[in-house]
Amino acid sequence: MAGHSDNDLGLPEFYAPVKIALVIAPYYTKIAQQQIASATKVVESAGASVEVIEVPGSLEVPTAIAFAGAAFDGFVALGCVIRGRTSHYDVVVEQSAAGIMQLGLQGLCIGNGIITVENMEQAEERADATRLDTAGGAAQAALHLVALKRRFA
């Protein structure tokens, strides 16, 4: 499948409790439900606890992560942005990704699973845990960053 890595790192092992927040903009309910289910499954498979935090839109995801930064070991940024007829899509995609990246460079462990697509068909493919599973991949990324941060702490 396009977009899938052939390198499976598996899940890291933890010897101390891990708390992960799924920060989601549930604009498209069906997509959001699939993202939450997939990310939760991955996080719990690693023995970590999960809390879901809902925000109005993808632009608010980085702000919510910044507010909750000290309360969690890691974060999974979730949502779905589908291109419309205006440049608003570009602003939301670029600024949410930039905010998440900035927080990561400041030391927060964040897996970015915000789906950015042209249409609902692409969104459904990326949200489906049996297909591209963007949320599951983002949850794995967050867990690996938590493990890496603990290794170098």
- Asked if 88 is an active-site residue, the reply is yes
pLDDT at position 8 is: 82
Q: Is residue 3 a part of any domain in this protein?
A: no
Strand order in the sheet with 49-54: 49-54, 19-24, 74-82, 110-117
Residue 104 falls within a domain, yes or no? Answer: yes
Q: In this structure, is residue 13 part of a structural domain?
A: no
What single-letter amino acid sits at 78?
Answer: L
pLDDT of residue 13: 93
In a domain, 138, yes or no: yes
With 0-12 CB in 10 A as exposed, 13-18 as middle and 19+ as buried, what is 53? middle
Per-residue pLDDT tens for 113-135? 999 999 999 999 999 999 999 99
- Asked if residue 41 has pLDDT above 70, the reply is yes
Determine the pLDDT at residue 4: 65
Asked if 9 contacts 143 with a C-beta cutoff of 8 angstroms, the reply is no
- Overall number of domains in the chain: 1
Residue 12 falls inside a structural domain: no
Whether the predicted pLDDT of 1 surpasses 60 = no
Find the mean pLDDT for residues 39-67. Answer: 98
CATH number, domain containing residue 24: 3.40.50.960
Q: What is the mean pLDDT of the chain?
A: 95
Instruction: Evaluate whether 103 touches 112 at the Cβ level (below 8 Å).
Output: no
State residue 3's pLDDT score: 53
Residue 6 falls inside a structural domain: no
Q: Are 60 and 31 in contact (CB under 8 A)?
A: no
Q: Which of 45, 88, 90, 95 is catalytic?
A: 88
Q: What's this model's pTM, rounded to 2 decimal places?
A: 0.95
Domain housing 143: 19-152
Section 84-97 average pLDDT:
94
